[in-house]
Amino acid sequence: MELSLGMLSNVTGNLRLGGTLFIQYGTFATGGCDGFVNVWDGTNKKRLYQYSKYASSIAALSFSKDGHLLAVASSYTYEEGEKSHDPDAIFIRAVNEVEVKPKPKALTAPQ
């Protein structure tokens, strides 16, 4: 699947992305200067999951090869200029399939 920057802007509402990473199931994760990591269903253009906010901007994301772990680099990226900020950190979190797998479409009743 090919996504343009405009499509990501429409989906995330924020052009400044710290990372965009495609994963299995046709979904992908984004992280930005707002400190949130979101998982998206690219086919249906819907957010599947939003992780709790990190202390500062998301500088990078990486899933493990098997997709069970997500590394999140949180680092102030000076989007608001020079100011005091939380120290840079890397977080490793377990990924639950419910967070990254698209929801099945509801079937409509025949009329």
The residue assigned the tokens 């269903």 is 41
Question: How many whole angstroms separate alpha carbon 106 and alpha carbon 87?
Answer: 44
Tell me the whole-structure pTM to 2 decimals: 0.72
Which range, 15-19, 35-39, 74-78, is most confident?
Answer: 35-39
Whether 3 has a pLDDT exceeding 80, the answer reads no
Where are the chain's structural domains? 5-100
Whether 62 has a pLDDT exceeding 90, the answer reads no
Report which of residues 92 and 64 the model is more confident about: 92
Question: How many whole angstroms separate alpha carbon 75 and alpha carbon 40?
Answer: 22
- Cα distances from 16 to residues 13, 26, 105, in angstroms, run 9, 22, 31
pLDDT of residue 8: 42
pLDDT of residue 1: 39
Residue 109 banded pLDDT, cuts 50, 70, 90? low
For residue 111, give every residue at least 6 positions away whose Cβ sits within 8 Å of its Cβ, in sequence order, or none. none
